[in-house]
Chain A
């Protein structure tokens, strides 16, 4: 299984919107609407932000949204805030009860 492809870094100013892409293949992202996104502040536990492509768990801000087109999923964060600065990882179900993650994207809030 090859890792999903994410940009190494993205940045934005407070109040702006950013989008992080996550490109897989027809074996994972393209075959299942089961992409999840995780926020990770180094040294802390990763936090689930989006599941099943576009659903937000209870307690996650509606500034976070997810979508998918073909083999590419996306995470959009609107109204950027300083506390959004973190690493973000996408993850897709890859069939046969296996999972594949992306390489991670470092978000910098300028």
Chain B
């Protein structure tokens, strides 16, 4: 079964750091670009960052630039998001999502998310 499972969320103080992980299974992880998407409480989805299959191309939303770092370990079938200088507005459920691939522009597989709460 194709699956993505996020972990690493929790409660952190403003200015703190957190590292999210996403474990992939059921597909050839190293062949797909991956993404982080978040949803703040009561709000819509927001794309955060993308990384190509070989890590050669990385992109960030303006809200994440300079504070968040996306990375992956293809040997471990894992995607990561290092979040520094966290703010209250970063409070959200964070989802990892797979690029559809094959030149198709969409996110075809999602995890169930991990909650990040930034509060003093």
Contact = CB atoms under 8 A, between A and B. Distances in A.
Closest 5 pairs (CB-CB, A-B):
A51-B106, A103-B44, A99-B47, A36-B106, A101-B45
A89 B110 CA distance: 14
A57 B2 CA distance: 15
B108 A48 contact: yes
Interface of B: 4, 35, 37, 43-47, 50, 57, 59, 61-62, 95, 97, 100, 104-113
Contacts, number: 73
Category for how many chain A residues contact B: 20 to 34
A46 B104 contact: no
B61 A1 contact: yes
A102 to B, nearest CB: 6
Contact of B95 (A32, A46, A103, A104): A46
B107 A48 contact: yes
Contacts of A36: 105-107
A91 B45 contact: yes
A52 B105 CA distance: 7
9 contacts: A3-B44, A43-B112, A51-B105, A51-B108, A52-B106, A97-B57, A100-B47, A101-B47, A104-B44
